[in-house]
């Protein structure tokens, strides 16, 4: 089930990846905005806008790791899923330790991406747990 907050931001320097992910995610009912650089994303999307960010790690200019760090420093409360075609070990652990909610190695399945996004958005909109 997709929550009311269905906006997904895709940041990848490969235009074909942006196009294919946008097509995929719109078929699942998400509203999708794509950006070819982290700089373009930061200049276009207000920090307070809700949604989920899917971001490539290896990009010219501000790379995914730097953009994730900047997002956290700016206080953006948007879950981040890191993606990469680089098979170097440790990216999954690094992504999670750096504040991302997930990591996917390209090529990944539609279900893996949609499941991560849905889970991230549901956690962000769930009421806080109350301790009694």
First to last CA, the chain: 29
- Express as a percent the part of the chain with pLDDT over 90: 73
48 exposed, middle or buried (CB, 10 Å; 0-12, 13-18, 19+)?
Answer: exposed
Question: What's the mean pLDDT when you consider all of the chain?
Answer: 88
100-114 pLDDT per residue, tens = 999 999 999 999 999
Cβ contact 81:104 at 8 Å: yes
What domain range includes position 23?
Answer: 7-125
Give the domain CATH number at 121. 3.40.50.2300
Its pTM stands at 0.88
What value, to the nearest 5°, has the Cα angle with vertex 77 and ends 89 and 116? 45
Would you say residue 1 lies in a domain?
no
11-20 pLDDT per residue, tens = 999 999 999 9
Would you say residue 14 lies in a domain?
yes
Q: H-type helices in 4-109, by residue range? A: 15-27, 38-44, 64-73, 91-97
Domain total for the chain? Answer: 1
Would you say residue 132 lies in a domain?
no
């Amino acid at each position: 089930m997709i929550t009311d907050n269905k906006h997904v931001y895709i940041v990848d320097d490969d235009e074909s990846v942006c196009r294919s992910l946008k097509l995929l995610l719109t078929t699942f009912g998400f509203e999708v905005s794509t950006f070819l650089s982290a700089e373009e994303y930061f200049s276009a999307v207000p920090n307070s806008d809700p949604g989920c960010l899917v971001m490539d790690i290896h990009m010219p200019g501000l790379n995914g790791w730097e953009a994730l760090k900047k997002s956290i420093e700016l206080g953006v409360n948007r879950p981040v899923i890191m993606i990469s075609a680089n098979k170097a070990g440790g990216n999954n652990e690094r992504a999670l330790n750096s504040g991302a909610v997930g990591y996917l190695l390209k090529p990944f399945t539609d279900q893996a991406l949609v499941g991560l996004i849905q889970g991230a958005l549901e956690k962000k909109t769930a009421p806080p747990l109350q301790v009694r």
